[in-house]
Amino acid sequence: MRPKPHTQMILFLALCGFTVVQLTPIIWAFMVSIKQPVDAFATPPLLIFEPTFQFHYEVWVERGFVSFLVNSLIIAIATVCISVPIGTMSAYALSRMRGGKANTILFGLLAMRMFPHILLAIPFFVLASFIGLIDTHLAMILALVAINQPFTIWLMRSFFLDVPIELDEAACIDGCNLWQTFTQVALPVVRPGLWVTSLFSLLLAYNEFLFALVLTGPNSKTLPVAIAEYGAEDINYWSLSAAAAIGIMLPIVVFMMLMQRHLARGLAMGAVKG
């Protein structure tokens, strides 16, 4: 039954208000990035001003943020390409595992994910230093795969649980082995969920700060670490930080717009039963 018109209007206004609240920091950061510092810190705030893209140009051209963006994309994409396939296969196995063994493994993965990152950053730094991987993409990729794997497994397992086990049994009767059942029967069904898992894994890797601060250097520095270098006492750096923050969001926004259809389908999986 459809809600009444006045109920729809209230819900629409509430959604608009929620959207405005969520977008306010982004809009404010964009306005700071195109203001001169004297206008950005004016009291009361100036809503009418002469915009300038000087700080955007300085960030991406003069300060070499393009190289930091490339580092972030290399690390994030490589992390997704490694962690999602491994996590998907593990999740399928755990979703079909009988008894309490699966729960024990899942609890162990969850406990590992609950560790504060600062407790894991130091061992990763010592290990990377010992094998000579400090300031390399590989050190960040391996660390991010390790810490994001529990999230990937848990999320993909929830999608596989919605796939009836009768499909596996039917495929087995038709002569499929376990690998064929996984790749040709189960995996196509959860493809929207695979997109969702890939997106969230990409976001986690792309926005990682602590491990990037510890494991990277001049040759592999990522955008979150580069942005953190600006701020403090110099008010010019606040405009630079705002310009960089807007720039770091653009690749993810574009990717989410391109993947919007798959994302909506994946988030809706499991919402309708029967």
With a CB cutoff of 8 Å and minimum separation 6, the contacts of 128 are: 134, 139, 143, 215
State how far the Cα of 99 lies from the Cα of 60, in Å rounded to an integer.
54
Asked whether residue 267 is assigned to any structural domain, the reply reads no
pLDDT of amino acid 86: 93
Calculate helix-pair angle for 191-206, 137-160, nearest 10 degrees: 150
Asked whether residue 37 is assigned to any structural domain, the reply reads no
Asked whether residue 142 is assigned to any structural domain, the reply reads yes
Mean pLDDT of 131-135: 89
**Single-letter amino acid code for the residue at 22:** Q
Check: pTM over 0.85? Answer yes or no. Answer: no
pLDDT higher than threshold 60 for residue 34:
yes
pLDDT of amino acid 236: 64
Separation of CA 216 from chain center: 19
pLDDT higher than threshold 50 for residue 272:
no
Q: What integer best gives the mean pLDDT of the chain?
A: 84
Note the pLDDT tens digit of each residue in 46-71.
778 888 888 888 888 888 888 898 99
Q: What is the CATH number of the domain that holds 207?
A: 1.10.3720.10
Specify the number of domains making up the chain. 1
Closest by Cα among 169, 167, 187 to 89: 187
State how far the Cα of 208 lies from the Cα of 202, in Å rounded to an integer.
10
Asked whether residue 158 is assigned to any structural domain, the reply reads yes
Residue numbers of the domain that contains 87: 64-229
State how far the Cα of 121 lies from the Cα of 99, in Å rounded to an integer.
35
Asked whether residue 104 is assigned to any structural domain, the reply reads yes
Mean pLDDT of 91-118: 83
Asked whether residue 219 is assigned to any structural domain, the reply reads yes
State how far the Cα of 53 lies from the Cα of 34, in Å rounded to an integer.
5
What Rg value do the Cα atoms of the chain yield, rounded? 23
Asked whether residue 103 is assigned to any structural domain, the reply reads yes
Asked whether residue 204 is assigned to any structural domain, the reply reads yes
For residue 139, name the pLDDT band (cuts at 50, 70, 90): very high
The two structure tokens encoding residue 137: 């993409």
